[in-house]
Amino acid sequence: MADGRSIRQRLESIDAGRINPGLDRIRRLLEALGNPQLAYPTAIIGGTNGKGSVAAMLTAIGRAAGHRIGLYTSPHLTAVEERFQVDGAPISASGLDAQLGVVLAVADKQLDSPPSYFEILTAVAFRYFAEAHVELAVLEVGLGGRWDATNVTRPRVAVISSVALDHQEYLGEDVRVIAAEKAAIIPPGGMAVTAPQGPAILEVIRRQAELVGATLWETESFPVVVRRTDAQLRYTFDCVGQLRHYVGLEVPLPGAHQVENAQCAILAAEVLDRRRLRISSDAIWAGLRSVRWPGRCEWLEENPPILLDAAHNPAAAQALASYLRELRRRKAFDRLHLVFSTLTDKDTEGIAKALYPLADHIVATRAPSKRATPTQELLAIGTSPSQRRAVDDPAEALAAARDAAAPEDLICVCGSTYLIGAVRPLLIHA
């Protein structure tokens, strides 16, 4: 078997942005590996925005119930090992090397064409979870749903978080077409949960559930009463579920949109409880209270404070903008400094249109990706504030924002997951 360094070099040589449509290749690869994805129950989480938060919440709830939970997410922030977690801990570097060695060797022997980066990692996740004897694997869809490599199990529950335009080069420009691709994760005869959606999107999801004979629970049908919010807009609320009434739920992830994500996780947990994975109301309360999801509306107690949020499409940027507007209304900060970068395959103007009008100062930078939008293009967008500058290096861009900011200001680093991955290690000291 190849050594760890050569295995990693081979993985990193694969274009992570290359998409292989269809499920035949991943199914053949998994069959050659002994179909590890069938060794445990799964929950699959799709959508455009919020699916990672829902996956993290459902995982935390399952762990609070005493179950051994595997979590597979993408993309990673700083290290690929983050994508594969069992009981809250990422796979070790040596463990990942061993799994990659097996998967790549089998792929070389069994496949006529090379698997994609995501297919390789998905096969690794399925095999790792089987060897770890998880009681449930929570799978975040990578792209779309219908042809995503995660969509090869019969999940006990499928969740569709907020759907919006993203990855149009693969999924199309019509949000109804995108919704159909995402709704294709709903299991025939199974159970599904959807977050609040626009009328056209909800119609597509309902039609798909009816087509495959699945039961669909819509979060908008379940009342929520907000009890209070703290200074960072973290919510405490009551919620009516399908099975129980919950009082005093707390979500440490800030923003009103996280209440909707929490509802998705609660209803998904209730489905699992009905399907022989015991989850009590106490576990739901404790799990939500303990959830962490780095780099997504994450506050770092610096001076001035720093907020990290990927916000890599217009809908996510609008959610972030709503959050920032409410913070400003509550006088949580004086001036807003954006450290901002996007990728060229994203709707940069749509993202900027949501965020630029709120900023008093923008530092345009380049996320560590070949697809990073040039800084001068970011500054050329007409709605940017007069105080703006280009600093290509993300670390220097952060330093420039800190130099310009007063203690009562707020620095928000946003626009790209790659940017968050570059900046966050500079700020996390433990």
pLDDT average, residue stretch 361-384? 91
Tokens of 167: 């990855």
Domain 298-427, CATH 3.90.190.20 — does that match? Answer: yes
Q: Which residue has the higher pLDDT, 311 or 140?
A: 140
Q: What are the beta bridge partners of residue 215?
A: 191
Query: Is the pLDDT confidence value at 166 over 60?
Result: no
Percentage of the chain lying above the pLDDT 90 cut: 85
Could you give the CA distance from residue 351 to residue 230 in angstroms, rounded to a whole number?
A: 27
Tell me, what's the pLDDT at 168? 52
Could you give the CA distance from residue 311 to residue 304 in angstroms, rounded to a whole number?
A: 21
Query: Is the pLDDT confidence value at 430 over 50?
Result: no
Question: How far is residue 2 from each of residues 13, 79, 264, 369, measured CA to CA in Å?
Answer: 15, 21, 42, 28
User: How confident is residue 79, by pLDDT bands cut at 50, 70 and 90?
Assistant: very high
265-277 pLDDT, tens per residue? 999 999 999 998 9
Write out the residue limits of the CATH 3.40.1190.10 domain(s) in the chain.
4-220+254-290
Q: Strands, DSSP E only, in 343-400?
A: 361-364, 388-390
Summary mean pLDDT of the chain: 93
Write out the residue limits of the CATH 3.90.190.20 domain(s) in the chain.
298-427
pLDDT average, residue stretch 13-24? 79
User: How confident is residue 16, by pLDDT bands cut at 50, 70 and 90?
Assistant: low
* CATH among 3.65.10.10, 1.10.10.10, 3.40.1190.10, 3.90.1310.10 for 4-220+254-290: 3.40.1190.10
Dihedral over alpha carbons 352, 356, 357, 358 (to 10 degrees)? 120
Tally of residues, the chain: 430
User: Widest CA span of the chain, in angstroms?
Assistant: 61
What is the CB-side half-sphere exposure of residue 215 using CA atoms within 13 A?
Answer: 9
Say if residues 160 and 46 touch (Cβ distance below 8 Å): yes
Decide: helix, strand or coil at residue 218.
strand
Tell me, what's the pLDDT at 348? 93
Percentage of the chain lying above the pLDDT 70 cut: 96
120-165 pLDDT, tens per residue? 999 999 999 999 999 999 999 998 899 999 999 999 999 999 997 5
Decide: helix, strand or coil at residue 298.
strand
Could you give the CA distance from residue 70 to residue 98 in angstroms, rounded to a whole number?
A: 18
Q: Which residue has the higher pLDDT, 21 or 14?
A: 14
Tell me, what's the pLDDT at 174? 82
Tell me, what's the pLDDT at 312? 85
Distant-in-sequence, close-in-space partners of 14: CB < 8 Å, separation ≥ 6: 114, 116, 117, 120
Tell me, what's the pLDDT at 40? 98
Q: What are the beta bridge partners of residue 316?
A: none
pLDDT average, residue stretch 220-230? 95
Distant-in-sequence, close-in-space partners of 167: CB < 8 Å, separation ≥ 6: 143, 144
Could you give the CA distance from residue 359 to residue 3 in angstroms, rounded to a whole number?
A: 48
Tokens of 158: 């499928």
Closest by CA to 214, choosing from 177, 277, 159, is 159
Say if residues 259 and 251 touch (Cβ distance below 8 Å): yes
Tokens of 114: 């090379």
Tokens of 426: 């500079």
Query: Is the pLDDT confidence value at 170 over 60?
Result: no
pLDDT average, residue stretch 17-27? 84
Cβ atoms within 10 Å, residue 332: 15
Tell me, what's the pLDDT at 14? 86
Cα-Cα-Cα-Cα dihedral sign, residues 169, 173, 174, 178: positive
Task: Output the DSSP codes for 172-240.
Answer: -S-HHHHHHHHHTTSPTTSEEEE----HHHHHHHHHHHHHTT-EEEEGGGS-EEEEEE-TT--EEEEEE
Say if residues 300 and 285 touch (Cβ distance below 8 Å): no
pLDDT average, residue stretch 401-406? 96
93-126 pLDDT, tens per residue? 999 999 999 999 999 999 998 999 999 999 999 9
